[in-house]
Structure 1
Amino acid sequence: MLRKYEALLLLSPELASDSRKDIVEGVVAIIEREGGKLEEVDDWGSRQLAYPVQNQSRGYYVRVVFNAPAPLVAELERNIRITDGIFKFVTVKLEDKALVQEEA
């Protein structure tokens, strides 16, 4: 069963455009290789961080939305951890459309 996930990657702002593109393509390749389906890659660009992270005050944000089986997330996060250039990330399962019951 495929579930919908969102991964937010925070890349080093010092990376060249080609390096950022290669990292994102690598993440997409892992998703597709492991049986997931890519929905969207959203490039948010360079932004000021709320607080310094690993001595960085800016970061380059990329959001990836995909459908995948649960084991794929563990493999994706393992690969993200060992990828140079990504210094922070978060992966969340997106809620299915919630059914709201109306009170009578």
Structure 2
Amino acid sequence: MRKLETLLLLSPELAAEERQSLVDSFSAIIEREGGKVELVDDWGLRDLAYAVNKKTRGYYVRLEYVGPGALVAELERNIRITDGVYKFVTVRLADKAEVEEEA
């Protein structure tokens, strides 16, 4: 299991319910592919360094999770086909992560 992080840049025009729905669907994909979401860090609406899709502001959300390497390909495939996501980046934080087993 690897410790991973995905940073999402979402459209500022999305309502709070739509943003939460996107984050929930990405979390469900992580769980379905054998991973576990450890942290959803909502950074909020921020100014961008340059315009993206003619917008100068964007909504940032950071997902921190553990899972197998194949999980990243499926998650990124779903992110690419989702409307409302302008950009994203996935980074491996650690090769081997300790996962607490639920009793």
Instruction: From the CA coordinates, give the structure whose radius of gyration is larger.
Output: 1
Structure 2 Cα separation of the partners of residues 84 and 26 of structure 1 = 13
RMSD: 1.2
Give, as a single letter, the amino acid of the residue that structure 1 aligns with 2:18. Answer: S
Task: Flag the 1:93–1:21 CA change in 2: closer, same or farther, 3 A.
Answer: same
Q: Deviation digits for residues 30-64 of structure 1, max 9, x if unmatched?
A: 00000001110000000000111111100000000
Q: How does 1:1-104 map to 2 (within 5 A)?
A: 2-95=1-94
Structure 1 unpaired stretches of 5+: 98-104
User: Following the alignment from structure 1 to structure 2, what is the Cα–Cα distance between the partners of residues 96 and 4?
Assistant: 7
Identity score, percent = 66
Distance in 1, matches of 2:22 and 2:36, equals 18
Task: Give how far 1:96 is off.
Answer: 5.5
Q: Aligned to 2:5, what secondary structure does the other structure show?
A: strand
With the length of structure 1 as denominator, give the TM-score of the two structures: 0.89
5+ long unaligned stretches in structure 2: 97-103
CA 1:96–1:35 in 2, change beyond 3 Å: closer, same or farther?
closer
Question: How many correspondences in the alignment?
Answer: 96
Q: Which amino acid aligns with 1:17?
A: A
